[in-house]
Structure 1
Amino acid sequence: MYKKVRLNMKKIIIGILAGIVCGLFGTGGGLVLVPAFIYMLEIEPKKARATSLTCMLIMVMISSIFYYKNNYIDWKAGGLCAIGGVIGGYIGAKVLKKIPDYILKIIFILFILYYSARMIFVL
């Protein structure tokens, strides 16, 4: 019983952190959720990615309401990117089944490092 409560608390804390990241940076929370699911909750990588998308859907909707109320949304850019995102999301989900987990991990790490370096050196 105690172990289950502790695991559920861990999940809630991960969700809170992901929600904060989502709200602050507009990342969708995946930067927090995927590694947390894999390393803290020991969820297999492909299931972690799929689970994070489900969580992010709800978080993004809540953050979007706030952004909408404050007139922060560029509807033209958002709409066009959403069209590409639907296509890319479908392709990504199909490709995910064919790429080994260790390759996905390397791609994810390189992605994080690249954009972290850009943020540091471009600011």
Structure 2
Amino acid sequence: MWKKILVGLIVGFISGMFASGGGLLLIPAYIHFFDSSEKEARATAIFCILPMVLVTAIFYGTGNYINWKTGILCCIGGIIGSFIGSKLLAILKGKYLKLIFILFLIYSGIKIVFF
């Protein structure tokens, strides 16, 4: 049970900090095409992702694809992690956010390619 909550916490933390998922595409687009700051791009991406995620969740929920026990436990950690991540977003300077984001992408790429 705690492992699932921890996974949710980590994913929520990353999501809160970096707007993972659709945010990986939205953030650079906001920065490069709309001259948004790092913080504004991340916050706007989170805002825009919410309706997309709700639609997807409804689709999967009505299709009986969701493992509800695992999902609920991960959500508990995810909510806490999102809160922490979004608070750090407000505190950290843009250059540190960019560095953390780049390191996260490199780590993710290595993990996907080699593991």
TM interval, shorter chain, is 0.7 to 0.9
1:1-123 equivalence runs, <5 A: 28-122=21-115
Unaligned segments of structure 2, at least 5 residues: 1-19
- Structure 1's unaligned 5+ residue stretches are 1-26
Contact 1:28–1:60 (Cα < 8 Å) also in 2? no
Once the two structures are overlaid, the 10-residue window that deviates more, 62-71 or 40-49, is: 62-71
Q: Which runs of 4+ in 1 moved over 4 A?
A: none
Tell me by how many angstroms 1:63 deviates: 1.2
% identical equivalent positions: 48
Structure with the bigger RCO (C-alpha within 8 Å, sep 6+) is 2
Rg larger in structure: 1
Q: When the two structures are superposed, what TM-score results if normalisation uses the length of structure 1?
A: 0.71
